[in-house]
Structure 1
Amino acid sequence: MKKRLIILNSIVMFIALVIVLLISSISIVNIGQKNTKEKLNNYLTLITNIVQSDGPLAAYNMISDSNFEIRLTIIDLNGNVLYDTQMKELENHLDRDEIKNPGVVYERFSKSVGHKMAYLAAKTDSYYIRVALPTSKVDSFVSNYILISTIVVIIIFLLSTIVIVKNNDLTFKKINQNLNELSNIAGSDTISNVDVDDMVSVLTLLSKKFENIITDSKYKEECLHTLINSVSQGIVVINKKGQINTINNQAPKLLRIQLTDYKNKNFRYLSNSIELQNKIEVCLNAKKNDFIEVNENGTYLNIRFSYIDTEWISGVIMTIDDVTSLMNLENNKKEFFQNASHELKSPLTCIIGYQQMITEGILDTKEQILDSANKSLKEAIRMNDILSDMLSLATIEARQTSLKENINPKAIIEDVVITLSIEAKKNNIKISTDLDDNSLFASRSEFNEVVRNLIDNAIKYNKENGTIFVSYKDGVLIVKDTGIGIKDEDKSRIFERFYRVDKARSKKTGGTGLGLAIVKHICLNNNYKLDLDSRLGLGTTFKIYFK
């Protein structure tokens, strides 16, 4: 196939050179004819003017005496030759083409002079004036040109054939080298001396192999992206140039950034934190591992940097963990123990104080001792309530499920109202109800806990002569009071452990500060919806949707 290609290229080159030679030869012939025609026209005009002014003899003598290559023939109107600068006796010329068609150039072989001539004639009132020029010089030039051009064409053809052969050899050698490289990349066998006939099959084979490689690469890339996007951690890969190479979906969320196209962006787009930017730069330059804790707008992040140097990439892999919940849990633990210690310490201190005063004889009368005993008992009961609520809350937070059954919410609410009405009457607080007598599938103890804590809370934070309205209809519990209400800034915290809107009132009424926290966690465990509506000085309404 390579030989056929060389022969084909050579034939194409030869045909092209021949076409160029023909076109150039025709152009030269046309140029020669044009020049001859211009000369004939110039000579004919000059001689015609002389004949008309001085006579035909004067024109004949001028041409005869000159060294002009022109031939002049003067003919009368009957075709008889009167004068000819190159011949003495000539036959009648009336049948000559140039005499029949004055003004038109004709070329033919002249028998009288023995070579080819170009003729042009003009007719006056008395004569035919004919001028002629030999075409031998033009013909000789064209012949020489064609001969020389043919030799040049043959030389060019031979040289071009040699160049084509050499170039084809080099081209096919380079093609084979490239095919070998491609086959090595594709994991195929070594390819050598591939001809044009085999090129299509080889390229088709390599194309299929590369298509499989690309498909496999895309599949692996998709698997990688699926994997890194499925983890809860943020993952960012930064190359040694400081450009973002890979980033999963979680990282922008954790870093609170909204860029959509991260590919090849500088790592400084990840965060405005100078500390984080400096840490990344240090790990890239020093090629070391490190970690940092960052607080991004209230979100606590634990970021680890691992330097890697592989064929895939050289740079730093960032793993970002959101430890906000752990930090909050730790803070809540600390706060809980502080509050619990404080809440338990206060009544315990009172009990110890009263007992010391009795033991040391500071309180010696029967009335003083009885009063101290009653106060100690009250503080002990308060401690017991706190511990009981703490144990109850711990059980609920541990999601220890209570037995669910069909219960009668109306009966439970009425029992709680009767139990707490004694405390309500102390401040002239009236409790009214509007209850449906329908069953509810729920935990009896948890329902009782929710109702008791909400009504107890409404009593403790109500005004004197206030009212409490308790409603249960269509699975919705409403506890509404006319109490002191809750400030807007306190609404988000009232369900926290030991948090009190009015600490002085809580201490006076003996609240543990855990009632609403218990209500909240029971609702969370059972997916009950809990709503709060409160206005300072006007009262508070709690709604729980059990269905």
Structure 2
Amino acid sequence: MNKLRNRFIFSIMLVVTIVLLALGVTLGAWSNERYHDFVSDRMKSETALTSWAVLEDGFPEREEAERVAREVGELFEARITILDENGTVLGDSWANPNEMENHIDRPEIQRALTDDEPELRFSETIGADLLYYALPLHIDEQLVGYVRVGLSIESFNEMNQMVWTVMAVSFIVAFLIILLLIARITKQIIRPIDDATKAAIRLAEGDYNTRTYEDQHKELGLLGRSINVLAYNLQQLSRRHQTQQEQMAALIDHMGSALLFMNVRGDVELVNQTTEQVFRVTSKELIGKPYYEVLPSQGLISFLQSVYMTEKKQRSQINWTENYITKVYDVYGAPVLAKSGRLRGVTVVLHDITEQKKLEQVRKDFVANVSHELKTPVTSIKGFAETLIDGALADPVASKQFSEIIWKESDRLQMLIIDLLELSKIENAQFQLNVEQISLREITEEAMALLDSKAVEKEMDLSVKETGSSIIEGDAQRLKQIILNLVTNAIAYTQSGGSVEVSLIEKKEAVELQVKDTGIGIQPQETQRIFERFYRVDRARSRNSGGTGLGLAIVKHLAEAHFAKLEVESEEGIGTTFIVSFPKRHMQS
């Protein structure tokens, strides 16, 4: 705004300067012309008087001409020159006539007969600028000579200089006075505009807290008051808009479903936090790029293409597998249309129903597996019991053999029921641990002692290795149950002559339990399902070993109850390692 003020002042002062200069030049020229006319009239009068003095007693000779020239020159304070009709100087009040050349060709002599204006000419004789005027001398209408008057222009120059000096001083004084007045008036006018402009710029930048100066003058203060009212209204609107925007952003970001919006060209313009988590990318990697280049699922891309082509709402279920994990999403897509009906973009919502699908599948598998697991021993018991009733009791060998089979199958059935009840108890919300400080090494050795006979039957090596301290807070019986299930599982899936190693490694905030075997291993796609109920990697092997298929499910729930981290590392044909990381201090203690 200072630039505007300076330009405003500069423009006004430029006009004022031009006007003053024009006025000064006009007055100076007029004054110079008036003084020149005055001097010309004076010279004409003095020349006429000199002509009268020269011809008073007739045309003089040289000596008389010199006397008359000196006397008149002293009287008029001018240079008086008397010439004959041939231009020869007879007398000169400022020079010796004998030393001067003939003046017949001088401009003032040539112009004498025309009675023109005086001629300004530099005199080489006296070395000065003089204003000359000459008149012809006639006696009885016969030209007898010339009389010339030369007046120094020094006084003319002094007068001219004085006029210009007075005008210059007046111009400077007037210029300064006008400049001060213009600067003050401009400041009063520009200040409200300047403040209003700055306030408007801050408003445009989004600073609605700004206020501007309100001038006391009614007209000048109106702009500032209007700006302040506008700023207040914008501030209120901004607060309401910001509140609504924050609420909308919080709603979008924290909704459980992934949300995307693509413009009419297919470029992603809006995503929420759930979208970043689903696709494992940041919003910067998605926004501004075509959906068909950044979305990982070909099924989702095809679904969006269908919405774009039909411009109708659609719903579908899409599966895609990432890192051996299959995700299932309920996808809803809808076109965004303007009032004119023109397509502006497409919005899509993805709701993760993987757990629901998994629960449905687990429920189906559980019913099928329980039915299958119960059917086998019940069928065996019923069949052999019928055989005994039909007469096999009379045969001591057959009756003993059938009775042992019935006992084994009933024992297996009892173990299955016990494990189901145990798993149900662990999953119960009222389930609590008996937390105390215990040594994992002692519990591990107790568990290994119980399983030593099974290892001997398969000629397997069981070993326990401890690195650091294995003291933690937990439920001793439940921890022993975890170790028993893991080691039993390792023995069941390891060939004869193999080995099972249990390692206890102390970490900074935890103790890590590792159960490593040299068994058949697990395929990568099965590692996520081995903790499901009744899921078996090798069904025939585990059933023959007497397992119920619930051991790892129990391990998972007991590990979660201890806030432990459970991991599996396996390579098919090489072996499997179960890693359970127990925190040293129980989080609920």
User: Please, what TM-score do these two structures have when normalized by structure 2?
Assistant: 0.54
Q: Tell me how large the CA RMSD over aligned residues is.
A: 5.3
Contact 1:463-1:482 within 8 A present in 2 as well = no
Contact 1:399-1:525 within 8 A present in 2 as well = no
Partner of 1:235: 259
Match of 2:318 among 284, 287, 294: 294
Structure 1 87/484 Cα, relative in aligned 2: closer, same or farther at 3 Å?
closer
Structure 1 82/335 Cα, relative in aligned 2: closer, same or farther at 3 Å?
same
Q: Which whole-Å CA distance do the structure 1 matches of 2:125 and 2:393 have between them? A: 165
Partner of 2:557: 521
C-alpha displacement of 1:404: 1.2
SS at match of 2:474: strand
Q: Does 1:97 align with 2:125?
A: no
C-alpha displacement of 1:419: 4.4
Structure 1 364/216 Cα, relative in aligned 2: closer, same or farther at 3 Å?
same
Partner of 1:150: none
Aligned pair count reads: 414
Match of 1:247 among 262, 265, 271: 271
Contact 1:336-1:497 within 8 A present in 2 as well = yes
SS at match of 2:361: helix
C-alpha displacement of 1:523: 1.0
What residue identity is the alignment partner of 1:504?
A
Structure 1 522/213 Cα, relative in aligned 2: closer, same or farther at 3 Å?
same
Match of 1:78 among 100, 125, 128: 100
Q: Deviations over 1:268-306 (max 9, x none)?
A: 6663644232344257x45xx443323344432223346
User: Please, what TM-score do these two structures have when normalized by structure 1?
Assistant: 0.58
Match of 1:386 among 411, 416, 426: 416
Match of 2:397 among 367, 371, 374: 367
Partner of 1:159: none
Q: Which whole-Å CA distance do the structure 2 matches of 1:535 and 1:268 have between them? A: 36
**Unpaired segments of 5 or more residues in structure 1?**
1-7, 30-72, 114-174, 187-193
What residue identity is the alignment partner of 1:200?
G
SS at match of 1:195: helix
Structure 1 98/504 Cα, relative in aligned 2: closer, same or farther at 3 Å?
same
C-alpha displacement of 1:322: 2.1
Contact 2:522-2:576 within 8 A present in 1 as well = no
Q: Deviations over 1:344-393 (max 9, x none)?
A: 33333333433444456689734324322322332232222223223323
What residue identity is the alignment partner of 2:122?
E
SS at match of 1:301: strand
Q: Which whole-Å CA distance do the structure 2 matches of 1:484 and 1:538 have between them? A: 6
Report 1:463-478 matches (<5 A): 463-464=495-496
What residue identity is the alignment partner of 1:522?
L
Q: Does 1:328 align with 2:363?
A: no
Q: Which whole-Å CA distance do the structure 2 matches of 1:421 and 1:349 have between them? A: 32
Q: Which whole-Å CA distance do the structure 2 matches of 1:434 and 1:292 have between them? A: 53
Q: Which whole-Å CA distance do the structure 2 matches of 1:348 and 1:482 have between them? A: 33
SS at match of 1:453: helix
Contact 2:520-2:572 within 8 A present in 1 as well = yes
Report 1:157-176 matches (<5 A): none
Report 1:295-314 matches (<5 A): 295-297=319-321, 298-305=326-333
SS at match of 2:112: coil
Q: Deviations over 1:54-112 (max 9, x none)?
A: xxxxxxxxxxxxxxxxxxx988882654255543499xx9x9633439999x9979676
Contact 1:455-1:479 within 8 A present in 2 as well = no
Q: Which whole-Å CA distance do the structure 2 matches of 1:304 and 1:377 have between them? A: 56
Structure 1 404/371 Cα, relative in aligned 2: closer, same or farther at 3 Å?
same
In terms of mean alpha carbon deviation, does 331-340 or 484-493 score higher? 484-493
Structure 1 476/200 Cα, relative in aligned 2: closer, same or farther at 3 Å?
closer
Partner of 1:401: 431
Contact 1:476-1:543 within 8 A present in 2 as well = no
SS at match of 1:82: coil
Partner of 1:511: 547
C-alpha displacement of 1:500: 3.2
What residue identity is the alignment partner of 1:206?
L
SS at match of 1:512: coil
Partner of 2:37: none
SS at match of 1:385: helix
Q: Does 1:446 align with 2:478?
A: yes
Q: Which whole-Å CA distance do the structure 1 matches of 2:125 and 2:391 have between them? A: 167
**Unpaired segments of 5 or more residues in structure 2?**
1-8, 31-85, 90-98, 137-195, 209-217, 585-589
Q: Does 1:343 align with 2:379?
A: no
Contact 2:122-2:130 within 8 A present in 1 as well = no
What residue identity is the alignment partner of 1:385?
M
Partner of 2:304: 277
What residue identity is the alignment partner of 1:443?
D
Q: Which whole-Å CA distance do the structure 1 matches of 2:273 and 2:289 have between them? A: 16
Report 1:252-267 matches (<5 A): 252-255=276-279, 260=284
Q: Which whole-Å CA distance do the structure 2 matches of 1:262 and 1:539 have between them? A: 41
What residue identity is the alignment partner of 1:224?
M
